[in-house]
Amino acid sequence: MTIDKLIAPHGGVLVDRVLGHDAQPAALAAASRLPAVRLSSVQYSDALCIATGVFSPLTGFVSSTDYQSILDTMHLANGLVWSIPVTLAVSPQAASVIGTRSPIALEDPGGRIVATMEVTETFSYDKQREALAVYRTEESAHPGVARLYGQGEVLIAGPITLIERPPSEPFATFRRDPADTRRLFGERGWRRVVGFQTRNPVHRAHEYIQKAALEMCDGLLLNPLVGETKSDDISAATRMASYQVLIDNYYPKDRVLLSVFPAAMRYAGPREAIFHAMARKNYGCSHFIVGRDHAGVGSYYGTYDAQKIFDEFDPDELGITPLFFEHTFFCRNCGGMASTKTCPHDGSSRVTLSGTQVREMLTKGQIPPPEFTRAEVARVLIDGMRA
Ligand SMILES: [Zn+2]
């Protein structure tokens, strides 16, 4: 085992707030007598990420002190890097039912009790201020801002304890906690591990980037986000099938691990790039790929903002090393994959398609050029769009 050679979790300790099996029945019985808050799907995924250590060092939903510090400085009050406030917003009515009572029970979106929370604080907040700080816009057309504006007016803070995991989840065999990925990396003897976040199919351009990073690292964590996304993104099931067929045919299986990232998408661009990097550090990644407009949406962020934001931090406080990539493409003159960093030829020699063009081709059942997408991947996407 080489597990101790992996990068340390963010803050030094992997958070584990999941109750053991033996303690579950008594905890559920006790929790059923507590005032309860019903979690939205995003809040539920946040709770799961907190409890399983994906969001280490967070042990619960953030306090007002941490909240203000995150908005103002992208650090927790204790000085650790943290760029996104992970909050539990409730309605004023729900807050008044809780009052000063603690602990409370947390229910999943279906109403099943899943966790308890020691309420340390209840506080109001300024949504416009959070929108500007985190999303760099107050426009409700931004999906992250719209979600913020639609949530409750009161934030409740405190550590949580997960009593029960979801009884069944999609992609169960690809769900691994940070403790699991760390164990697997250790068993495989990986030390330098590169994480790749995506919510899109992997075309040749992404494959090239991943393999370029893999040339420098021992292993690749292909870590697609399957939490809540915009409704027009390609379905998680189709994407997962497309990753599997790609790995089966074109990746060395002992050097890649496909594992889902259970967090919800926030579309916070630069700040979410930092957030994603810290989460991957917790999974055991020493390196993290940041492309153009990482976690962006529309034209809210500059092309390189999500890369530039890493310069605002000391590399030591980040720990994980970002790897910045350009868009890549097949160049007929180069005779291979390249980017504007490596190819001197003009656009006419490059095989590029816009997202809209690709979508149109796949909708019509047409397979894009092999220089753009592997045919195996295209067939999975075509089938998925027809389903
Ligand atoms: Zn070229």
> What is the 8-class DSSP label of residue 90?
E
Distance 211 CA to ligand 1 centre (A): 19
- pTM here is 0.94
Per-residue confidence (pLDDT) for residue 2, from 0 to 100? 45
Other residues' Cβ atoms within 10 Å of the Cβ of residue 2: 13
Q: Which of 175, 176, 182, 199 is catalytic?
A: 199
User: Is 282 labeled as catalytic in the residue annotation?
Assistant: no
Provide the terminal-to-terminal Cα distance of the chain, rounded to the nearest Å.
44
One-letter amino acid for residue 373 of the chain: T
Distance 331 CA to ligand 1 centre (A): 5
Pairing of strands 219-224, 256-258: parallel
Per-residue confidence (pLDDT) for residue 167, from 0 to 100? 84
Q: Which residues, at least 6 apart from 97, have a Cβ–Cβ distance to it below 8 Å?
A: 35
φ/ψ of residue 69, rounded to 5: -65, -40
Per-residue confidence (pLDDT) for residue 1, from 0 to 100? 45
Distance 345 CA to ligand 1 centre (A): 4
What whole-number distance in Å separates Cα of residue 120 and Cα of residue 98?
A: 12
Three-state DSSP at 259 gives coil
Distance 186 CA to ligand 1 centre (A): 39
- In the numeric block, the tokens 């966790």 are attached to 115
> What is the 3-class SS of 140-196, one letter each residue?
CCCHHHHHHHHCCCEEEEEEEEECCCCCCCCCHHHCCCHHHHHHHHHHCCCCCEEEE
User: Is 176 labeled as catalytic in the residue annotation?
Assistant: no
Q: Which whole-number Å values give the CA distances from 387 to 101, 231, 234, in the listed order? A: 48, 16, 12
Distance 353 CA to ligand 1 centre (A): 16
Distance 207 CA to ligand 1 centre (A): 18
Distance 315 CA to ligand 1 centre (A): 33
Q: Which of 78, 112, 129, 200 is catalytic?
A: 200
Distance 371 CA to ligand 1 centre (A): 13
Residue 172, phi-psi category: left (phi > 0), alpha (psi -120 to 50), beta (remainder): alpha
Distance 182 CA to ligand 1 centre (A): 39
Per-residue pLDDT of the chain (387 residues; tens, 9 = 90+): 444 689 999 999 999 999 999 999 999 999 999 999 999 999 999 999 999 999 999 999 999 999 999 999 999 999 999 999 999 999 999 999 998 889 999 999 999 999 999 999 999 999 999 999 999 999 999 999 999 999 999 999 999 999 999 888 888 999 999 999 999 999 999 999 999 998 888 999 999 999 999 999 999 999 998 766 665 668 888 999 999 999 999 999 999 999 999 999 899 999 999 999 999 999 999 999 999 888 889 999 999 999 999 999 999 999 999 999 999 999 999 999 999 999 999 999 999 998 889 989 999 999 999 999 999 999 999 999 887
Per-residue confidence (pLDDT) for residue 385, from 0 to 100? 86
What whole-number distance in Å separates Cα of residue 204 and Cα of residue 209?
A: 9
Q: Which whole-number Å values give the CA distances from 173 to 29, 154, 195, 255, 261, in the listed order? A: 30, 37, 19, 18, 13
